[in-house]
Structure 1
Amino acid sequence: MKNVLDPLTQGQRYPHAALPDFVTSRVERYFHERVQQTWGGGHIMRGRLPGADALHLSSNDYLAIARHPDIINRTADTLYADGNGLLMSAVFLRGDCPLSLFENRLAKCMHAEAGVLCQSGYAANIGLIPAIATAQTPVYLDMMAHMSLWEGVRIAGATAIAFRHNDASHLEQQIARHGQGVVLVDSIYSTNGSVCPLVEFANVCERHACVFVVDESHSLGTHGPHGAGLVVELGLESRVAFRTASLAKAFAGRAGFITAAADFQEYFKYSANPSIFSSTLLPHEFSGLDATLSVIEESDERRTRLAASAAWLRERLTELGYNLNGSESQIIALEAGTEQRTIVLRDALEARGIFGSVFCAPATPRNRALIRLSAHAALTDAELERVVSVCRDIRSEVELDKWPSTRRLGDELSPRRRSRERTEADSAVAA
Structure 2
Amino acid sequence: MLRGVAAIHKEPIMYETIDRKTDWKMPDAHLPDFLAARVDRYYRERVQETWNGGHIMKGRSPGPDALHLSSNDYLSIARHPEILEAMGTSIRSEGNGMLMSGIFLHGECPQLELEERFARFMHSEASVLCQSGYAANTGLIQSIASPETPVYADMMAHMSLWEGIRSAGAKAIAFSHNDVDHLERQIRRHGPGVIVVDSIYSTNGSLCPLTEVVDIGTATGCVLVVDESHSLGTHGPGGAGLVVELGLTDRVHFRTASLAKAFAGRAGLISCSRRFQEYFKFESLPAIFSSTLLPYEVAALDTTVRVIEKEGWRRTRVAANAQFLRTRLSSLGYNLNGSGSQIIALESGTEQRTIELRDALESHGIFGSVFCAPATAKNRALIRLSINASLTDIQIERIADVCGAIRERVDLGNWPSTRRMQRDPQAADDLSVVKRAA
Post-superposition offset of 1:169: 0.8
The aligned counterpart of 2:361 is 349
Q: 1:336 aligned to 317, 334, 348, which one? A: 348
The aligned counterpart of 1:163 is 175
CA distance in 1, matches of 2:335, 2:244: 30
The aligned counterpart of 2:30 is 18
The aligned counterpart of 1:131 is 143
The aligned counterpart of 2:40 is 28
Native 8 Å contact 2:18 2:61 kept in 1: no
Alignment of 1:367-378 (within 5 A): 367-378=379-390
CA distance in 1, matches of 2:180, 2:415: 29
The aligned counterpart of 2:64 is 52
Deviating beyond 6 angstroms after TM superposition, the runs of 4 or more aligned structure 1 residues are: none
Q: 1:363 aligned to 372, 375, 391, which one? A: 375
Describe the superposition over 1:247-270 as per-residue Cα deviations: whole angstroms up to 9, x where unpaired.
Answer: 000000000000000010000011
Describe the superposition over 1:356-399 as per-residue Cα deviations: whole angstroms up to 9, x where unpaired.
Answer: 00000000000000000000011100000100110011001000
The aligned counterpart of 1:384 is 396
Q: Which amino acid in the other structure matches residue 168 of structure 1? A: V
Inter-CA distance 412–127: structure 2 relative to 1 (3 Å threshold): closer
2:345 is paired with a residue whose SS is: strand
Q: 1:233 aligned to 234, 241, 245, which one? A: 245
Post-superposition offset of 1:409: 1.2
Native 8 Å contact 1:6 1:46 kept in 2: no
Inter-CA distance 346–212: structure 2 relative to 1 (3 Å threshold): same
Q: Which amino acid in the other structure matches residue 200 of structure 1? A: E
Native 8 Å contact 1:139 1:158 kept in 2: yes
The aligned counterpart of 1:5 is 20
The aligned counterpart of 2:325 is 313
Q: 2:419 matched to 1:407?
A: yes
Q: Which amino acid in the other structure matches residue 191 of structure 1? A: T
Q: 2:308 aligned to 281, 296, 310, which one? A: 296
Residue identity (%): 65
Post-superposition offset of 1:413: 6.7
1:383 is paired with a residue whose SS is: helix
The aligned counterpart of 1:191 is 203
Q: Which amino acid in the other structure matches residue 285 of structure 1? A: E
Inter-CA distance 140–185: structure 2 relative to 1 (3 Å threshold): same
Post-superposition offset of 1:6: 5.3
2:57 is paired with a residue whose SS is: coil
Describe the superposition over 1:17-72 as per-residue Cα deviations: whole angstroms up to 9, x where unpaired.
Answer: 82111100010000000000000100000001111111000000000000000000
The aligned counterpart of 1:109 is 121
CA distance in 1, matches of 2:380, 2:411: 15
Post-superposition offset of 1:220: 0.1
Q: 2:78 matched to 1:66?
A: yes
Inter-CA distance 17–412: structure 2 relative to 1 (3 Å threshold): closer
The aligned counterpart of 1:13 is none
The aligned counterpart of 1:181 is 193
Inter-CA distance 245–411: structure 2 relative to 1 (3 Å threshold): same
Q: 1:270 aligned to 278, 282, 285, which one? A: 282
The aligned counterpart of 2:4 is none
Over the residues paired in the alignment, what is the CA RMSD in angstroms? 1.9
Deviates more, 1:18-27 or 1:362-371: 18-27
Q: 2:155 aligned to 143, 148, 153, which one? A: 143
Which blocks of at least 5 consecutive residues in structure 1 are unaligned? 10-15, 422-431
TM-score (norm 2): 0.91
Native 8 Å contact 2:22 2:54 kept in 1: no
Post-superposition offset of 1:96: 1.8
Native 8 Å contact 1:3 1:40 kept in 2: no
Describe the superposition over 1:156-175 as per-residue Cα deviations: whole angstroms up to 9, x where unpaired.
Answer: 00000000100111100000
2:40 is paired with a residue whose SS is: helix
Which blocks of at least 5 consecutive residues in structure 2 are unaligned? 1-13, 429-438
Post-superposition offset of 1:300: 1.1
Post-superposition offset of 1:299: 2.1
CA distance in 2, matches of 1:37, 1:64: 39
Q: 2:87 aligned to 69, 75, 80, which one? A: 75
Describe the superposition over 1:90-147 as per-residue Cα deviations: whole angstroms up to 9, x where unpaired.
Answer: 1111212011000000111100000000000000000000110000000000000000
Q: How many residues align?
A: 411
1:409 is paired with a residue whose SS is: helix
Post-superposition offset of 1:246: 0.1
2:376 is paired with a residue whose SS is: coil
CA distance in 2, matches of 1:321, 1:45: 25
Post-superposition offset of 1:412: 4.4
CA distance in 2, matches of 1:52, 1:367: 33
Native 8 Å contact 2:22 2:53 kept in 1: no
Q: 2:257 aligned to 227, 230, 245, which one? A: 245
1:332 is paired with a residue whose SS is: strand
1:370 is paired with a residue whose SS is: strand
Q: Which amino acid in the other structure matches residue 139 of structure 2? A: G
